[in-house]
Amino acid sequence: KPIIAIVGRANVGKSTLFNRMVRMSVDRTKSTAITESIPGVTRDRNYVETEWDRKKFIVIDTGGFYAEEISHGDKEILRQVREQAMFAIEEADLIIHLLDAKEGLMPSDIELADILRKSGKKILWVVNKIDTQSKEDRLLEFYRIGAEEIIPVSAVTGYGFDELMDKAIALIPKDMETKPSEDEIPRVAVVGRPNVGKSTLINSLLGKKRLIVSHIPGTTRDSIDSICSYYGKRYLLIDTAGIRKKGKIYSQKIDIEKFSIVRAIRSIERADVAIIVLDASEGVVEQDQKIAGIVEDYGKGVIFLLNKWDIIREPEIYYKEIIQELKNKIWFMDYAPCITTSGLEKKRITKIFPIIDEIIAERQKRIPTADLNKFLSKIIAVKPFPPYKGRELKFFYITQVGIKPPTFTIFVNYPSGVKAHHIRYIEKALRQEYSFKGTPIRIYVKSR
Ligand code: GDP
């Protein structure tokens, strides 16, 4: 999907504008999804997939990728601004350069605008905090930036927002969904933070015959796809890491790990199954957690690879420890299979293939409504819904409404009465009964 990046100095209102765009995606969702907070999903999330006028895109608040320090010297501001620009130029299809009417035009705004302009990317210059009457004359000074058009908005009140969105989507390319290949090759994204061994793993899987798939419009620009075959069956490996190695080097100030999140998103959204590679010697870190959160968020299949297992001493003892750590830190994915590998020594890496097949089958499974209802009556009898505001909370029926990931809707009299822990209980029971190994499932609650 096309990416729109919001850039600008600290405090110009990037996250307010971002949140407004997020809200319009939330408004679309009619049924209630009851989920608990998952890292990278609800908390500190700086990207979101949304749509306007039926055009889908991802919007990124680049400010969220920095610890934006507000009161520091000009030099610092300029550096921050430059790096933000590089990031946006590399990742985005459209850049919204947000300016601040209250503070006026600052030297760093001009600097940022210059870098952006040289990139040849599509840019919209937008002046925020236009909430007072005398808006037009406030805009004038911003034309010094060299833009043909300056768009006034107020991210807080919503003034100018619709016009901005109309202009934005007119400039982004059409969403190029990857078409399902005729022979249904499973698509596997290899993701993980830098240096966990993704490239090494992929090279080991591919052997000498690294076959790079020709470009699919709008997608492969950011990743290298390769076809790899195992016992005659083919798999498409999506590798976002590889191409970036030769790419831009950011300065130390930028958290490369955070940037790698955006790349992970790009791979994940095109995949059926994500292989999350961890560096077993380093344990499970926050960034792993975030990547897992994205996979869950996108509803993709998942396998954890405890990689670099060759350097683990006392593997038997350590295995138990790290599995426990995984359970604690990535509790929301207790359904995910986990294997130990060494990409470097080519150990156990082909184990992924049968697991991928299994997960893909699980994701496509459909449970007949009659079975589901029998099952749900049974488990609700064991643990009844608590009353809601003194009234009895009744469940009417459950049905599977989708696959990839398996999605269920439960019809009840008072949806707001169903709590997260109840959904968790139902999910657990569903998995005990029907497995759904390696895939998230979705449970929605609706009123009849
Ligand atoms: P990427 O950034 O995730 O693609 O990581 P790379 O594949 O570039 O690997 C980063 C570093 O880890 C390199 O020095 C590799 O040689 C090393 N490495 C990768 N896989 C393994 C492994 O299985 N075992 C060990 N011991 N080192 C590995």
What is residue 359's predicted lDDT score, i.e. its pLDDT? 97
- Which residue shows structure tokens 């005729």? 182
Widest CA span of the chain, in angstroms? 71
What confidence score (pLDDT) does residue 65 get?
58
Nearest to 5, CA basis, from 80, 86, 115, 95:
95
Q: Do residues 277 and 337 both lie within one domain?
A: yes
Does 91 reside within a domain?
A: yes
Residue type, 69: E
287 in the same domain as 207: yes
Q: Is 204 in the pocket of ligand 1 (CB under 6 A)?
A: no
Is 137 assigned a ligand-binding role in the annotation?
no
- pTM surpassing 0.80? no
Peptide bond into 405 cis (omega under 30): yes
- How many domains, the chain? 3
In the numeric block, which tokens belong to residue 369? 């409504």
Termini Cα distance of the chain: 34
> With contact defined as beta carbons under 8 Å apart, do 135 and 153 qualify?
no
Would 443 be classed as within a structural domain? yes
* Whether 167 contacts 94, CB under 8 Å: no
Of 363, 392, 426, the one marking the end of a domain is 363
CATH number of the domain encompassing residue 383: 3.30.300.20
Ligand 1 centroid to residue 360 C-alpha, Å: 27
Task: List the domain range (segments joined by +) for residue 376.
Answer: 369-447
- Strands, DSSP E only, in 55-176? 55-61, 94-100, 122-128, 150-152
Task: Say if 180 falls within a structural domain.
Answer: no
Give the chain's residues under pLDDT 70: 24-45, 64-78, 80, 132-136, 175-183, 208-224, 240-260
Q: Which atom of ligand 1 is nearest to the CA of 343?
A: 23
Pocket test for ligand 1, best of 193, 195, 206, 287 (most atoms within 8 A of CB): 195
CA distance 207 to 230: 12
Q: Is 9 annotated as a binding residue?
A: yes
Q: Quick one: 358 and 373 in the same domain?
A: no
pLDDT score for 95 = 94
Nearest CA among 130, 127, 132 for reference residue 109: 127
308 labelled ligand-binding = yes
Co-location of 229 and 355 in the same domain? yes
Query: Ligand 1, atom 27: nearest CA belongs to which residue?
Result: 308
Mutate to test the pocket of ligand 1, among 191, 193, 200 (most ligand atoms within 8 A of CB): 200
Domain match, 250 and 349 both:
yes
Give me ligand 1 centre to Cα 435, in Å.
Answer: 33
Q: Are residues 354 and 436 in the same domain?
A: no
- Helix or strand or coil: residue 436? coil
Question: CATH number of the domain that 310 lies in?
Answer: 3.40.50.300
Q: So what's the pLDDT on residue 38?
A: 45
Amino acid at the residue 207: G
Predicted pLDDT at 210 = 54
- What secondary structure letter does DSSP report for 125? E
Q: Which helix (H) or strand (E) holds 328?
A: helix 315-329
196 annotated as a binding-site residue:
yes
Give the side-chain half-sphere CA count within 13 A for 359.
29
Nearest-angstrom CA–CA distance, 229 and 245:
25
Domain stop point among 363, 395, 429: 363
**Of the candidates 327, 323, 301, which has an alpha carbon nearest to the alpha carbon of residue 312?**
323
Q: Is 65 annotated in some ligand binding site?
A: yes
Q: What is the pLDDT of residue 100?
A: 92
pLDDT at 420: 85
Residue 101 located in a structural domain: yes
**Residue 397 belongs to what H/E stretch?**
strand 395-402
Q: How far is the CA of 272 from the centre of ligand 1 (A)?
A: 24
**Where a domain ends, among 363, 385, 412?**
363
| Lookup: tokens for 129 | 């905090």
Q: Give the pLDDT confidence score for residue 87 in this predicted structure.
A: 74
pLDDT for the residue 176: 56
